A and B are shown apart, each in its own frame.
Chain A
Amino acid sequence: MTDAHVPRTAAVNSVVGPIPADQLGVVAVHESLLSVVPGAEYAFDIDLDRVTIFDTLAAKLREFKAAGGGTIVDTTGMFHGRDLRLLESLARVTGVNIVASTGMGPEENLGGYFLTPQTNPPTPWPAEKFADLFTQEITEGMVIPRLERRNPAGLIVVEADRAGITPTEVSLVQGAARASVGTGVALSIRWGADAVGDVTYAVNEGLSADRIVVGGCDRVDAVNAGVAAELAGQGCYVAIDHVGSTGPAYIDDAARVALVVDLIAQGFANRILLSSNAIGVAAGLEAVEVPFGFVVGTFASMLRDAGVSETDVRQILADNPRDVLTVRSEKKA
């Protein structure tokens, strides 16, 4: 007997273990619960008070749930404050499904272990080593550094430098793509200066476009370059994921509504993701104070007012992220 042909129950890797994909509900796919800039945990002027952090996040998650949210994806990766025991407790206490991520980036946030290893010369890590590191976070479980492994990661996240992807970040994307191919867990790319180019590094590793989420599709430069439609056309999921934020680098919510309407008109309703990149608790950087429930509440109403059908709203907020987060069987049918 081999299990190659036995259909497996579609499951999503949450911090408390696999959960059936049909139980996710509305998903906030690109958010941060506790976000700590690497090194900030050692800063003399930053007090990571665990009780305050827990209470703050629990309140925000309850608010999310009350607004209609079911699942939140923490996209801080493995080296930006991920605290698995905190996330596990929050999931249990609030009833919100929490999916945690593996991955890293951009290069400036990588530790010296990956950039200047104790070898002569100090060659940065190649793709294969990143692939192994991220794969282990899925096949063996996510790490609590130097202590233990917990449940498998539910998403792989990488990020490139805004000034343009660096050679090490190319290795990072390639390695993450290989880990995604091997494990069936989807890959999220926060692109640098060239969305299509950065995504191509992943596609060239044999990763199917429908396993790739492209973040930052509401960046002004993305909109000017028509990134969302082009990548949706290739089959990627395009994340309009700064909903509720304004600023010189991003379009505003009215323009986001117009972008969604336009993408739906082009037949891409099944490729759109919405999220806020909110930060629940931030250390070493500014919190993004948009409520986790802003998309399912306020922004969804804006979409309806703009004539987006209930079916499409449901597709975008629940079905698309469910398809992204569902772990693909390694053996293709």
Chain B
Amino acid sequence: MARVNTVLGPVPAETLGIVAFHEHIGYGMPGSELDSKWWKTPEQKYEETVPKLRRFHELGGGTFVDATGICNGRDVDYYKSLSAKTGVHIVACTGFVGGDTALTHFAKASVEYLADQFIHEITVGIGRSGAQAGIIKVGVSRGGRMTELDKRIYRAAARAAKLTGVPVMTHLAIDAEPAVEIFHDEGLPLDRVVFGHVDDGVNADKTNDVWIAEQGGRIGFDTFGYETELPDPPFWARPRQERLDHFLRFIGGPGRLEMVLASADANCSPLGWPGVKGHTVNYIFDDLIPDLRKAGVDEATITTIFVDNPANFLTLHV
């Protein structure tokens, strides 16, 4: 039986539909909740979020994977209400965006403790919500090199993934050698890991996506829409055509199509930063899929990228 953990309980992988595999309901750096300049009323949050998810649903979107780490404003009870009222499956993650977003309690914890935290959130549930995490988030801290804490989190994630069968997603795929080594070391097959953000403007040049794919890792092109053409682009933006070319070049390689995932990394309603105006998860439908069609990508390939690959990836391997 192919099961995927969503915030409203496990669902058959066959029912996921089109998956946006790396998105955020709302993301903020830990501590941003103390700065009232970012606060929004619940009315405002729902108003900013619900129409985007409904439109996602209407356009054929089935599943929204929230990649917001434990300390970044992850709010599972809120996700449950959004999922129930919009019909979009929401998959919540356990884990951390990077060591630099893990607060003291976790930053000082052992690999064993971190693994227990992840396993609990996957098998028992997150906090008192009862919702089980469907994926583990890990990542590279700011600075471009994996820190000792990043490595501890990767190792704990590998153990929890191996034990529970959920996959792992990374924030950034730079400095991938130590990551690959840790996953090997812990016996986690690399196709249970998607190495994300290979396509962003800051890191694309420093990311050896082909090498990671050759090792067996999945590759996440997941910052689609953060474009230098935007009126006020963020620092990780990249020219639209350059990213698209990169993606097409990558999937053109042997055996690569099955290893690729694509998403927009948009915030429905950002928590601790202004967000990027006009960028939503629906970039996938409004821009990305049309761009792929224009470039001659056929429907079967589009289904592979947005339906089959994520379903295989998110299915609990037990």
Chain A interface, >50% SS class: loop
Q: Which residues of A contact B272 (CB under 8 A)?
A: 113, 118
Report if A38-B142 is in contact (Cβ < 8 Å); known contacts: A79-B31, A112-B29, A113-B272. no
- For B107, give its contact among A39, A44, A116 (CB under 8 Å): A39
B35 and A116 contacting across the interface, CB-CB below 8 Å: no
Binary flags per residue of B93-108, CB closer than 8 Å to A gives 1, else 0: 0000000111111110
B108 to chain A, nearest CB (A): 8
Asked if B104 and A45 make an inter-chain contact with CB atoms under 8 angstroms apart, the answer reads no
Decide: A145 and B33 in contact? CB cutoff 8 A.
yes
Q: Which residue of B lies closest to A283 (CB)?
A: B105
Contacts of B70 in A (CB 8 A): 39, 42
Known interface pairs A44-B121, A111-B29; A37-B105 also in contact (CB < 8 Å): yes
Closest to A42 in B: B70
Q: Check A117–B29 contact: CB distance below 8 A.
A: yes
A119 within 8 A of B: yes
Q: Is B273 in the interface zone, CB < 8 Å from A? A: yes
Q: Does B1 contact A (CB under 8 A)?
A: no
In the assembled complex, the Cα of A108 lies from the Cα of B234 at a distance in Å of: 28
A110 to nearest B CB, angstroms? 6
Considering only residues 218-233 of chain B, those with a C-beta below 8 Å from chain A are none
Tell me the minimal C-beta distance from B189 to chain A in angstroms: 26
Residues of chain B within 8 A (CB-CB) of A114 are 31
Known A110-B31, A111-B32, A118-B273; contact A39-B141, beta-carbon cutoff 8 A: no
A290 interfacial contact with B, CB 8 Å: no
- Asked if A39 meets B121 with Cβ closer than 8 Å, knowing A112-B30, A120-B235, the reply is no
A119 to B234 Cα, complex, angstroms: 9
A228 at the interface (CB under 8 A from B): no
B290 within 8 A of A: no
User: Which of B102, B117, B235 contacts A119, CB < 8 Å?
Assistant: B235
Q: Is B82 an interface residue (CB 8 A)?
A: no
Q: Is the CB of A44 within 8 A of B120?
A: yes
A38, A79, A109 — which one has the most chain B CB atoms within 10 A of its CB? A38
| Chain B residues whose C-beta falls within 8 Å of the C-beta of A39 in the assembled complex | 30, 70-71, 102-107
B117 contacts across to A, CB distance below 8 A: 43-44
**Interface positions of A from 173 to 191, Cβ below 8 Å from B:** none
- A binding-site residues for B, Cβ under 8 Å: 37-40, 42-45, 78-79, 108-122, 133, 136, 140, 143, 145-147, 149, 284
Shortest beta-carbon contacts, A-B, top 10: A111-B31, A39-B103, A39-B105, A111-B30, A113-B31, A145-B33, A44-B120, A113-B29, A120-B235, A38-B103
What are 19 sample pairs from A and B whose C-beta atoms fall under 8 A apart? A37-B105, A39-B102, A40-B105, A42-B71, A43-B105, A43-B106, A45-B120, A79-B31, A79-B34, A108-B104, A109-B104, A112-B31, A113-B31, A115-B100, A118-B29, A133-B34, A133-B35, A147-B39, A149-B36
List 18 other contacts, CB 8 Å, given A108-B104, A120-B202.
A39-B71, A39-B102, A39-B104, A42-B106, A44-B120, A45-B116, A79-B34, A108-B107, A111-B31, A111-B71, A112-B100, A114-B31, A115-B100, A117-B29, A143-B36, A146-B33, A146-B38, A284-B105
